[in-house]
Amino acid sequence: MVPELLCCRYVAVGNEPFLAAYNGKFIKVTLPALENIQNALNDAGVGDRIKATVPLNADVYNSPAKNPVPSAGRFRNEISGVMTDIVKFLAKNKAPFTVNIYPFLSLYLNDNFPLDFAFFDGKSATPVNDNGVIYTNVFEANFDTLVAALVAIGHGDMPIIVGEVGWPTDGDRRAKASYAQRFYDGLLKRLASNRGTPARPSQRLEVYLFGLVDEDQKSVQPGSFERHWGIFRYDGQPKFAMDLSGQGRNTTLVPAKGVRYLSRTWCALNPKASRNDLGKLLGAKIDYACTNADCTPLGYGSTCNGMDVKGNASYAFNAYYQAQSQKDEACDFQGLALPTETDPSTAACNFTIQIATSTAAPPLGMAALAAALVVALLQLLLWW
Other CB atoms closer than 10 Å to residue 243's CB: what's the count? 18
CA 240 to chain centre: 16
Element containing residue 149 per DSSP (H, E): helix 138-152
Exposure string over 95-107, b if 16+ CB within 10 A, otherwise e: bbbbbbbbbbbbb
In the DSSP assignment, the letter for residue 30 is H
- Residue 206 annotated among the catalytic residues of the structure: no
Other CB atoms closer than 10 Å to residue 185's CB: what's the count? 20
Hey, which bits of the chain come out as E strands? 10-12, 51-53, 55-57, 61-62, 74-75, 97-100, 128-130, 133-135, 160-165, 206-209, 266-269, 337-340
Catalytic residue among 164, 206, 215, 341: 164
- Residue 329 annotated among the catalytic residues of the structure: no
Beta bridge partners of 56: 99
Catalytic residue among 16, 35, 215, 226: 16
CA–CA distances in Å: residue 175 to residues 103, 182, 230, 278, 348: 11, 12, 12, 32, 14
What is the rounded distance in angstroms from the CA atom of residue 286 to the CA atom of residue 284?
5
Sign of CA dihedral 196, 200, 201, 204: negative
Catalytic (active-site) positions: 16, 164
